[in-house]
A = this chain, B = another copy of it.
Amino acid sequence: MATTPPLPARGWAASAADAPLAPITFERRAPRDGDVVIDIDYCGICHSDVHTVRNEWHGTAYPCLPGHEIVGRVREVGPGVIDFKPGDVVGVGCLVDSCRECPSCRRGLEQYCVRGATQTYNWPDPDFDRRTFGGYSTTIVVQERFVLRVPETLDPAAAAPILCAGITTWSPLRKFGAGPGVHVGVAGFGGLGLMAIKLARALGAEVTAITRSPEKGEHAKAAGAHDVVISTEKDDLRRARMSLDLIIDTIPVHHELNPLLKLLRLDGNLVLVGAIEPFDEGLDARLLYLRRSITASAIGGLPETQELLDFCGEHGIVADIETIPMERVNSAYDEIAAGKIDFRYVIDMATL
């Protein structure tokens, strides 16, 4: 199909589960019909990047080049692209393609594509004999349906985490009706928790942060939470009993769900968005008999991600970030794995 040669690119990748990320050169496909070539300016570091690079979820192929919170500028477009032009500020999130025909894709919920959407990294790459390579790189080539418009009023580095941390919380906030008169709890306070608080607050909901750490609780209040429940304090838990309509549970490791269920009122929903460990071993099903539900939500579809970016542009919402040079990525991983940070690291690709 493509007669032009592939595009040279540079990036950082890990060659094994225990190897640090290091410089790599590789190729991106030449742009074809509907493709957008993007020069990457910033890429956020998601906890998933760390899990994947270290093969903690298994199934990682090496070299592994992560990154799915990508913001950059359009360099050129392939034939048929009319919505984007060179110079546009754009974003790419966790998905770069999907079947586009199944019921999920037709609803704009490409993340639930029944044939399996193509993930931005560590996914079989239809164009090369390797996995897809993500955003820790100079360049990416993506079908326009999977390219998002980033409002130019937003700081592009701080907007990058909207593409994963943001949409992962936005999608369930919208689906479960967060807004005026709805009391939303946000459990866990890292990159996702912070975005959830900002978004729920901007949507007009009453927001309660649920965290083990009084210090993180203070940060949550500064981010917009109306109230804080310290989850190790029985009095706090008792006070908040049956008070919430919705809990966005961003805690990324195994944890007990029963104490969270008790905070829900009639018809309340507990939505897991953290990457929970495979098994919950102590769910008390009796706690569900108030039509409380447990469900889980994965990132978001393209239309809702664009809706979110537009909403963030309108409300001036971005992530709390620290921009770092590419060389700091390995030490940043250690800090993230240790659960030490309550902001998002974003790599400045100019340092590559």
- A residues with a Cβ closer than 8 A to B are 103-104, 109, 112, 114, 175, 242, 266, 269, 272, 276-286, 288-298
Contact = CB atoms under 8 A, between A and B. Distances in A.
A16 to B, nearest CB: 26
A104 B281 CA distance: 31
A294 B296 contact: no
Contacts of A109: 266
Copies of this polypeptide in the complex: 2
Nearest to A102: B266
A58 B285 CA distance: 17
Contacts of A281: 281-282
Contact of A284 (B103, B114, B242, B279): B279
A261 B160 CA distance: 34
A269 B293 contact: yes
A299 to B, nearest CB: 10
A272 B294 contact: no
Given A103-B266, A114-B242, A289 B296 contact: yes
A297 to B, nearest CB: 6
A242 B277 CA distance: 22
Contacts of A286: 276, 278, 296
Given A103-B266, A242-B114, A285 B293 contact: no
Given A109-B266, A266-B103, A279-B282, A288 B292 contact: no
Nearest to A296: B288
B293 A295 contact: yes
B283 A280 contact: yes
Given A112-B266, A266-B103, A285 B292 contact: no
A47 to B, nearest CB: 16
Contacts of A280: 283, 285
12 contacts: A103-B266, A276-B285, A279-B282, A279-B284, A280-B283, A280-B285, A288-B296, A291-B295, A291-B296, A291-B297, A294-B294, A294-B295
Contacts of A292: 295-296
Contacts of A298: 289-290
B242 A290 contact: no
A275 to B, nearest CB: 9
Contacts of A288: 272, 294-296
Nearest to A269: B293
A129 B288 CA distance: 32
**Most interface-central of A103, A291, A298 (chain B CB within 10 A):** A291
A291 B242 contact: no
